[in-house]
Amino acid sequence: MSFDGNLKAFPSLREHYDAMVQAGDVERDPAQRDLTDRYDRLIEEICTKRLSRKSSALGWLFGKRKEAAAPVKGLYVHGEVGRGKTMLMDMFFQLLPIERKRRAHFNDFMADVHERIYAHRQAHKRGETKQDDPIPPVAEALSQQAWVLCFDEFTVTDIADAMILSRLFSALFERGVVLVATSNVAPDNLYRDGLNRQLFLPFVAILKQHVDVVNLDSRTDYRLEKLDRQPVYLTPLGLETTSRMNEAWADYTDGKAEKPAIIRIKGRDIEIRHAVEGLAARFTFDELCARPLGASDYMAIVKHYPTLFIDDVPVLDYTRRNEAKRFILLVDVLYDHHARLFVSAEALPEKLYQAKTGTEAFEFDRTASRLFEMQSAEYLDASKEKIGA
């Protein structure tokens, strides 16, 4: 057991993980077990930091000011898909005994940041604030809400994100925020081959100063071991596959009224040709990935339609890397929101992206793994509970 300053016991990650192994919920893995020890040490450091904050506050009150405690270094855990990174980070988040903590998919967090920046700039235009730089007040507000941030699938593909990350996280770290993140790539490979990457590199240096980097080199992709695929990913493209997608759409919508729809987001319209309000929407690949859509657009779609049908996903190569980037982002958003997905594609997930170079080649491994998992009975049952279908 471990203890906070009130001597209130809380279970360690090691104990929790061992109990899951004993119950048969997970298979024992040495690399995962070693990482539980790293997380347990981080919990101890965070709790000690919290107590030192309280002590410093009391010292100021009674005239005995103490030296500021050293900042807590977070964790950046990277490794191939399906190695248990998210599972262990979620265990850490659940067991961390503080209130001001936040767990989010990185894309969701950055969408929130951009909304806050936009709102601050509008307030400045209206004369409601004299602060013309939105980063300090946004960082202050974020740090007041949570001083431990947990990000799943830390990845940078958006130039707008890349340009503000250095300043934003410098401000967050200055305010004592602790970062814990999972990623498929090491920090040095973030935003690899991205536009104006040299402007992003200061963020990598700042990140490595404030986190310990751990490679979770686990033995296998556990998600694929659990796979019991359902007929929701249809390939190859052709008349038979189109017919099966049409049948699936008809069965899923079950005679409910279908009509075109429009989602308005930030003054732009996302047109949807086939939609059943609150249930499902149907798109072609080009409608979702050949148009200039981003994470906030995909999140708005999922908010309105928890099930998506996507027709005619092609095999992609480097000449279509922009479409590949959007498809990677789309699958990330759908997966993180546990949306249900029906797909017709030219090839199996692991064959959809043919390029061997560029950031997308790295990231498409995660996309392929998620497309496989989203076919599993386990995933579909969980999504059914979420959408009430």
- The verdict on residue 50 lying in a domain is yes
Q: 136 vs 13, 72, 117, 159, 260, CA distance in Å?
A: 35, 21, 10, 20, 42
Find the CATH number of the domain harbouring 321.
3.40.50
pLDDT at 67 over 50: no
Same domain, yes or no, for 199 and 274? Answer: no
User: In terms of Cα–Cα distance, which of 67, 2, 80, 60 is closest to 36?
Assistant: 2
pTM above 0.85, yes or no: no
- The verdict on residue 376 lying in a domain is yes
- The verdict on residue 292 lying in a domain is yes
pLDDT at 41 over 50: yes
The confidence score (pLDDT) of residue 1 equals: 41
Helices within 126-265 (DSSP H only): 135-145, 159-174, 201-210, 222-225, 239-253
Question: Residue written as tokens 């386990």?
Answer: 378
More confident residue, 217 or 326: 326
Tell me the residue range of the domain where 180 lies: 13-54+68-215
Same domain, yes or no, for 278 and 136? Answer: no
pLDDT at 55 over 80: no
Q: What would the pLDDT profile of 188-216 be if each residue is shown by its tens digit?
A: 888 887 888 888 889 999 999 999 999 98
Report the chain's C-alpha Rg in angstroms: 23
- Residue that finishes a domain, picked among 215, 235, 252: 215
- Residue that finishes a domain, picked among 165, 181, 215: 215
Same domain, yes or no, for 194 and 238? Answer: no
pLDDT at 104 over 60: yes
Other beta carbons within 10 angstroms of residue 77's beta carbon come to 25
166-172: average pLDDT:
93
- Residue that finishes a domain, picked among 189, 215, 241: 215
